[in-house]
Homo-oligomer: A and B are copies of this chain.
């Protein structure tokens, strides 16, 4: 990140709906919000690290964990407030070249992946960099085969992948984002877009309690060594 000033923004509401208070809920052995904060600190490549939240309590708790507290105005903390609005408000207060949004809902993200993402931001000149999950699977879209033919079954390694945005990491060039927002154009996918591929086992959604259980299971699986055992045949 040689000449760039890059800052990390971790959006976190206290009033989450489908999983109540998920940001302060323990995921295995630590609160969810602690995962992205620790990751960003370990990375040592951010000029500053901010938790963007409407909650004084969550803000102060985040400070104890080593992040800065950006107080989001109440009106931008509703269910209908959009990413572009609270990110724009954040950018107004913090000068930098890039804002990297780290989502608390991706606690499985590894340091090496964050580093590779920052290298990708650094070595290109994109206005927006989204993180995607590449999938090489036979996929239908609107009922029709998208990347395969019904006439042939090919090795899935040869399929053209789909790339689904996972929102684990997103980077925006501040200048471009602010200019677009001020012109009334959606800046979330603004300008020239780069796509960065995140390993599928580091991505998870935490929309539902079921997702939460999966994430706990994946974290657990990383920590335990189960025996390699075979059936007698």
State A188–B162 Cα separation when bound (angstroms). Answer: 22
Neighbouring B residues of A138 by C-beta, 8 Å = 164-165
Neighbouring B residues of A146 by C-beta, 8 Å = 141, 146, 162
Contact with B along A98-117 (1 / 0, CB 8 A): 00000000000000000000
Contact with B along A114-140 (1 / 0, CB 8 A): 000000000000000000100101111
Known A-B contacts A165-B137, A220-B220; A153 and B231 likewise in contact (beta carbons under 8 Å): no
State A162–B164 Cα separation when bound (angstroms). Answer: 9
Chain A 131-189 interface residues, beta-carbon cutoff 8 Å to B: 132, 135, 137-143, 145-147, 150-153, 160, 162-166, 185-186, 188-189
- Determine, out of A40-48, A57-65, A89-97, the stretch whose residues face the partner at the interface: A57-65
Copies of this polypeptide in the complex: 2
State A86–B31 Cα separation when bound (angstroms). Answer: 50
* Chain A interface (Cβ < 8 Å from any Cβ of B): 14, 21, 24-26, 28, 31, 33-34, 55, 57-58, 60-61, 82-84, 132, 135, 137-143, 145-147, 150-153, 160, 162-166, 185-186, 188-189, 193, 195, 199, 201, 210-211, 213-214, 216-222, 226-233
State A31–B228 Cα separation when bound (angstroms). Answer: 11
Neighbouring B residues of A24 by C-beta, 8 Å = 230-231, 233
State A210–B221 Cα separation when bound (angstroms). Answer: 9
Report which of B82, B142, B145, B201 forms a contact with A210, defined as CB distance below 8 A: B201
State A39–B233 Cα separation when bound (angstroms). Answer: 21
Closest-CB distance, A73 to chain B (whole angstroms): 20
30 A-B contacts, Cβ less than 8 Å apart? A21-B230, A24-B231, A24-B233, A25-B228, A25-B229, A33-B231, A34-B231, A57-B233, A61-B231, A82-B153, A137-B164, A138-B165, A140-B163, A140-B164, A141-B146, A142-B160, A143-B195, A145-B189, A146-B146, A146-B162, A150-B186, A150-B189, A150-B193, A151-B185, A162-B162, A201-B213, A213-B222, A217-B218, A217-B219, A220-B221
